[in-house]
Structure 1
């Protein structure tokens, strides 16, 4: 075989190998939240876990998002490689064409299927120890920072009204990003935030000044119509007992356009990587099998296959 022919054969072999390798890799787009947020960081961690857990067979690209509504709306134009995060309740609204989806309905919304839960949006009412506030009614007469435009701000305002505190609480006119400094300097008595626990801004606040994160009673939680969440003792500095509060479940979804094998592999790899993920970031400790009960819609058949394999019971409505 002459040198030219050998070179051609070698080049063909390399090309064939490259094509085989490329075809073996499954590419997935994961859309969650704004860059810099804890949920965007979760996406980055998930992408790394998927790559490691599948030996590079699944490659996840994390995309910035403007929020859960946008994530759901993009289902209309996305293919089988699309994974996104949103509260299950929002998927229900999209499928019914209600609230923010009124007049924007699409048959594509009916194809949305769940994969696995991720850390819930958990409400934190963070008070300085000097404020002497230890329960919700103690907020009367205090200055609280709610922030603007976030789920935590909207939810916090709703709770003040629900518990008859809207007239007695002074709302600070400042951004949530200023909360820790304002609390430390005594400009506010407390702030409200929502996020996975441990929430970075609550960790920062507790590390810089003594704080109390308020618990809600079972009756108050029932009034909010949200899901009960327990933040274990020791999550934040000087936190000696569990915190009982509310949460909004968040789930990773895809659609029926995703093939069963990919959905199966994503779900399997997530649960098998969760212990290692928890070592990387403590917020993954907040994810447990029990959170699957918060999924009110259907779960992807590929994910159902995994849950059946490991003996996790699902409801008939989820299958």
Structure 2
């Protein structure tokens, strides 16, 4: 993982300078979600940590909440929009959630406690529920910008996602593998999906990089609003990252309006993550409800079509929750 960036940045993440600031950061992190006192005090509440409302985590999280409310007796599920992977994993560590969406590389970084990725210490209370659909790195530029390659980003204005989000960590890795850095850009903006979308539509950005499931709402809306170019990320760049979590993939032609050709890019598995304070029976029921209702999840977002029981255990960088393990043994995937 590359080191924290400097240079031509807007709204860049700041670094704690002293102990009082560090303490404030910890207190702020613990309060990042608007969880009510009642919700935190109720052991039967399943708080589901997702991402931005215009991404893919959020609609699938809402469908999961409905399923859990119907199928897990005595529980209430609540969905929370967050800054996604890094924030979600930090919140799970302090038991401010019971289930969260996160990118596989961020989960590995959390388990190892990589500070440059946003984890002050190993997040050892995390436990896996399932590997789900892959995220695709989707780099789009306005047609007017003339950007058609990664090298064409030099001197341009780009949004790389919310600070320390899974998307932003992916952006660092992609650019570094391509021999680029944030300093090579004309301007780097750290904004989530919805805000990035508005900036590029107003002509204040040349490109946005998003890590999400195929067919994400923000990019779909952008392709319908203005002429854009999907910038390829060649397989050789993906291989230079040197992390098996990143795999060369194609965005199939026709995924978005005006995108007739396949676009080479990188894909990273998403993982549903829980934590050790979640009771085994609850984790078992959460896992079972996912795979008993895949059609419902696919109706919430097309990306969920890629969730398969046969791949649920692939590439998990952290231990399974005992409740999830019970489910996989029950269906014959584990002995």
**C-alpha distance in 1, partners of 2:307/2:73?**
24
Distance in 2 between residues matched to 1:187 and 1:76, nearest whole Å: 37
Task: Indicate whether 1:242 and 2:248 are aligned.
Answer: no
Unaligned runs of 5+ in 1: 1-25
Partner SS state of residue 266, structure 2: strand
Name the residue aligned to 1:194.
211
Give the superposition deviation at 1:295.
0.8
Cα RMSD (Å): 3.6
**Residue 209 in structure 1 maps to residue 226 in structure 2:** yes
Equivalent position to 1:84, from 100, 122, 130: 100
Residue of structure 2 in register with 1:128 after alignment: 142
More helix by share: 1
User: Which residue of the partner structure matches residue 46 of structure 1?
Assistant: 64
Where structure 2 has 5 or more consecutive residues not aligned to the other structure, the ranges are 1-42
Inter-partner Cα distance in structure 2 for 1:34 and 1:291 = 21
Distance 2:188 2:126 in 1: 40
Alpha-carbon displacement from aligned partner over 1:264-296 (angstroms, at most 9, x marks no partner): 221121012122221222232243343631212
Q: CA deviation at 1:223?
A: 1.5
What TM-score, normalized by structure 2, do the two folds share?
0.68
Once the two structures are superposed, what CA deviation does each residue of 1:5-39 show, in whole Å capped at 9, x if it has no partner? xxxxxxxxxxxxxxxxxxxxx93423414563533
Question: Residue 294 of structure 1 aligns to a residue in which SS?
Answer: coil
2:307 is the counterpart of 1:292: no
- 1:112 equivalent to 2:129? Answer no
Give the distance between the partners of 1:174 and 1:92, measured in 2 at CA: 23
Measured against aligned partners, the alpha-carbon deviations of 1:35-57 in whole angstroms (never above 9, x if no partner) come to: 635334432221012234x2756
Q: 1-side partners of 2:177 and 2:187: how far apart?
A: 16
**1:7 counterpart residue number:** none
In 2: Cα distance, 1:219 partner to 1:125 partner: 16
Partners of 2:246 and 2:268 within 8 A in 1: yes
- Matched position secondary structure for 2:304: helix
2:94, 2:161 → 1: CA distance? Answer: 33
Q: 2:186 aligns with which of 170, 177, 199?
A: 170
Secondary structure at the counterpart of residue 292 of structure 1: coil
> Which residue of structure 1 lines up, in the alignment, with residue 36 of structure 2?
none
> 1:82-119, CA deviations, whole angstroms, 9 ceiling, x for partnerless residues?
223334444544444442444x45xxx54532112344
> How far, CA to CA, are the matches of 2:201 and 2:91 in structure 1?
41
**How far apart, CA to CA, are the structure 1 residues paired with 2:214 and 2:65?**
20
Distance 1:33 1:308 in 2: 27
The residue that corresponds to 1:9 in the other structure is none
Q: Cα distance, 1:191 vs. partner? A: 2.1
Residue 281 of structure 1 is matched in structure 2 by 301
Q: Report if the CA contact (8 A) 2:47-2:79 is conserved.
A: yes
Query: Deviation at 1:242?
Result: 3.2
Alignment correspondent of 1:159: 174
Shift of 1:146: 3.6
Q: Does 1:233 align with 2:253?
A: yes
Q: TM-score, normalised by structure 1?
A: 0.71
Largest Rg, 1 or 2? 1
Structure 1 residues 153 and 34: CA distance shift in structure 2, 3 A: closer
Tell me the secondary structure at the aligned position of residue 44 of structure 2. Answer: strand
CA shift at 1:126, angstroms?
0.2
For 2:102 and 2:198, the matched residues in 1 are separated by 31
Following the alignment from structure 1 to structure 2, what is the Cα–Cα distance between the partners of residues 282 and 172?
A: 30
